Each structure stands twice: as structure tokens, then as C-alpha cells.
């Protein structure tokens, strides 16, 4: 019987379901209150332990995260298997991204401000979604689900991924990450949903962002480090972008006195687009965790194992 340390909030029903798995002995805690004794006994951890906590777990062989992002485990020893919740968050975050496009294209922030000021005036033509050219930089679950929805709305969709293989029917063109700059000048919206790797840090620097339309919409739901924050601040101050929607930032959280907060075309949310304790996400994540524990108990590999060298 393997010792499993559950370092995340689970419902009473989830606990009852887990306890039915005779191959495991479960201990429940959370990241802040986990003791050294619990870590010393843990062979499997369900949750997001810190690297310091991992070093206190000499018996640890496997970490199953409730998150899709695992870049914080870039230095995890190869001897410890790592699996994530890839695929669970795609539909939820994609809805947020579609909302961002509507937010900017239909000028909702401007009209909400005018309502508060009791102003009745038009601000010019609204942008139509049908026919809009949309680029997803990152074609994992999140980027793919986003483009599926934009395609259904009539947008012309393009994708960028690390390696190009089968092209989905809802994508007009698929490019490798090394070759997409010439697309940027045509795009009405560019959405980033990449994990953090050495190659993605500041992928959108000033030079690359200036290749975009000055009227483009920029969305980031992946990792804040994909965008050079200083360059973004400079460009928004010069009137670039009809809207910038950021659910992730660098640094995160953004300091209270950072001028990006007050840029009129920048819309910031506190990393909530795929928050775990929302609607059906928790149930979907727990379903995946239970499936992987069952697979491991049968001597099979869990799904969505992370490649240590790639970081996803």
C-alpha cells in the first residue's frame, strides 16, 4: 500500500471515492500546513508542493498536479514522475478568451464608463467577429479550444505550435513557433496560451509586438513571462493595441504602483481564467486524478505525463 499525500482541497465525496482505492493510504493536508513528517512518508503527492517540500520527501516517486502548468518543476529530479491536468482547463479558459475578444471588439469598457458618466454618445464602428483574423500562439488544449470557438463564430483562424503536424479543419494555417512573424501584421487578435519554457520567455518582445497591427487585440492566458512587460507598457503608452487582456503577468501579482494598471486599453484579471475551484473544473480535475491513481495501481502509466526536458 502506497502512501499518498493529498495537498489540495477535496470534497467529502472525493475523499470517500479515494478511500475505496485499496492500493493506497491517503493523508490529507494543504501546502501551508503540511508537516515534515507527512512529507517524509509520502510516496505520491497530489497537489502543488514547493521544491523545498519535495526535498523533504525522500520516498517521493510521483507528483500529480491539479494544474496544467508545471514550469515550477523544471528542476524536478528525473526519478520523480510528474503528471498534470492537461486538457481539463481548455474549454473553461477558451470561454474567457472569447469573452476578451468581445470585450474589446464591442468596446464594452468604454460604454460601461460612459454609462457611469451618464454619457450618450457613439464611439465609432464596432468590430465584427465574423471575418476577423485570429492567431493562437500555442495549440495545446487551451489554444485549440479557443480557435474552435472563434471558428464557429466565423473568424479566420491561424495557429502556432512548437512542431507542426496534423492541421485541424478549423485552422486555416498552422505554423511552427520559429516561423510566424509574417502572420502578425495580418492578425486582428493574437492570443497566447503557452507554458513557460526558456524559448517562450519574452517571445513577445517589443520588436515582435511592433509587427502586429496597432489596432490588434492581444490576449495572454499562458504565462506572464511570454510578454516583455516593460515593452508592453511602452507600446500601450504610445497608443498601441485596441485592447490588451492579461490574466497572467510578469511580475505576478503586478505591483500596486505599476503604471500598466491605469492604461485605458489594458484589462487585467488576477489569474482566474482557469481557477481550480470554479464550476465543473474541480470535478473534472478530480476525475482525472482518480483515473491516474487507478492506472498506476494497475501498473500502467498515468495520462498526461510531463516531459522533464520540455517542461510540458
pLDDT given for residue 279 in this prediction: 60
CA 297 – CA 273 distance, rounded (Å): 33
Torsion (CA) 37, 38, 42, 48 in degrees, nearest 10? -130
Coil vs helix vs strand at 34: coil
Q: Are 281 and 9 in contact (CB under 8 A)?
A: no
Distances (CA, A) of 255 to 195, 234, 291: 23, 17, 40
CA 205 – CA 199 distance, rounded (Å): 12
Q: Are 274 and 68 in contact (CB under 8 A)?
A: yes
Residue-level pLDDT, tens digit, the chain, 312 residues: 999 999 998 999 999 999 999 999 999 998 899 999 999 999 999 999 999 999 999 999 999 999 988 888 988 999 999 999 988 999 999 999 999 999 999 999 999 999 999 999 999 999 999 999 999 999 999 999 999 999 999 999 999 998 888 899 999 999 999 899 999 999 999 999 998 988 999 999 999 999 999 999 999 999 999 999 999 999 999 999 999 999 999 999 999 999 999 999 999 999 999 876 566 788 889 999 999 999 999 999 999 999 876 767
pTM to 2 decimal places: 0.89
CA 187 – CA 217 distance, rounded (Å): 9
pLDDT given for residue 134 in this prediction: 98
**182: enclosing H helix or E strand:** helix 181-184
- Measured on CA atoms in the order 246, 312, 80, 22, is the torsion positive or negative? positive
Sort 7 into a burial class: Cβ within 10 Å, 0-12 / 13-18 / 19+: buried
Cell numbers given for 55:
526535498
Strands (E), 247-304: 266-268
CA 19 – CA 25 distance, rounded (Å): 8
87: left (phi over 0), alpha (psi -120 to 50) or beta: left
User: Which residue's entry shows cell 479558459?
Assistant: 93
Q: Show the domains of the chain with their CATH numbers.
A: 2-88+280-297 (3.40.50.720), 127-268 (3.40.50.720)
CA 288 – CA 281 distance, rounded (Å): 11
Do strands 24-28 and 173-176 pair parallel, antiparallel, or not at all (unpaired)?
unpaired
Task: Tabulate helix, strand, coil % of the chain (nearest 5).
Answer: 30, 15, 50
CA 301 – CA 51 distance, rounded (Å): 23
Amino acid at each position: 500500500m502506497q502512501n499518498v499525500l493529498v495537498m489540495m482541497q477535496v470534497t467529502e465525496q472525493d475523499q470517500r471515492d479515494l478511500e475505496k482505492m485499496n492500493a493506497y493510504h491517503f493523508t490529507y493536508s494543504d501546502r501551508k500546513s503540511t508537516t515534515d513528517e507527512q512529507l517524509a512518508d509520502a510516496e505520491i503527492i497530489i497537489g502543488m508542493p514547493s521544491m523545498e517540500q519535495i526535498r523533504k520527501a525522500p520516498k517521493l516517486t510521483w507528483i500529480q498536479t491539479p494544474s496544467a502548468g508545471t514550469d515550477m518543476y523544471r528542476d524536478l529530479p528525473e526519478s520523480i514522475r510528474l503528471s498534470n491536468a492537461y486538457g481539463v482547463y481548455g474549454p473553461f479558459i477558451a470561454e474567457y478568451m472569447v469573452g476578451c475578444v468581445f470585450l474589446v471588439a464591442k468596446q464594452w469598457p468604454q460604454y460601461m464608463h460612459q454609462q457611469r458618466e451618464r454619457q450618450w454618445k457613439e464611439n465609432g464602428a464596432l468590430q465584427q467577429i465574423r471575418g476577423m483574423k485570429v492567431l493562437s500562439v500555442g495549440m495545446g488544449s487551451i489554444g485549440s479550444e479557443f480557435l474552435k470557438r472563434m471558428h464557429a463564430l466565423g473568424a479566420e483562424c491561424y495557429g502556432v505550435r512548437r512542431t507542426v503536424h496534423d492541421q485541424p479543419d478549423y485552422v486555416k494555417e498552422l505554423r511552427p513557433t520559429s516561423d510566424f512573424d509574417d502572420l502578425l501584421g495580418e492578425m486582428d487578435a493574437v492570443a497566447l496560451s503557452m507554458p513557460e519554457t526558456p524559448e517562450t520567455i519574452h517571445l513577445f518582445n517589443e520588436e515582435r509586438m511592433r509587427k502586429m497591427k496597432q489596432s490588434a487585440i492581444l490576449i495572454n492566458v499562458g504565462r506572464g513571462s511570454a510578454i516583455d512587460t516593460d515593452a508592453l507598457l511602452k507600446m500601450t503608452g504610445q497608443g498601441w493595441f485596441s485592447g490588451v487582456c492579461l490574466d497572467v503577468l510578469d511580475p505576478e501579482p503586478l505591483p500596486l504602483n505599476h503604471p500598466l494598471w491605469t492604461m485605458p486599453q489594458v484589462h487585467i484579471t488576477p489569474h482566474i481564467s482557469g481557477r481550480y475551484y470554479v464550476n465543473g473544473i474541480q470535478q473534472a480535475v478530480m476525475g482525472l486524478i482518480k483515473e491516474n491513481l487507478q492506472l498506476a495501481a494497475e501498473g500502467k502509466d498515468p495520462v498526461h505525463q510531463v516531459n522533464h526536458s520540455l517542461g510540458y
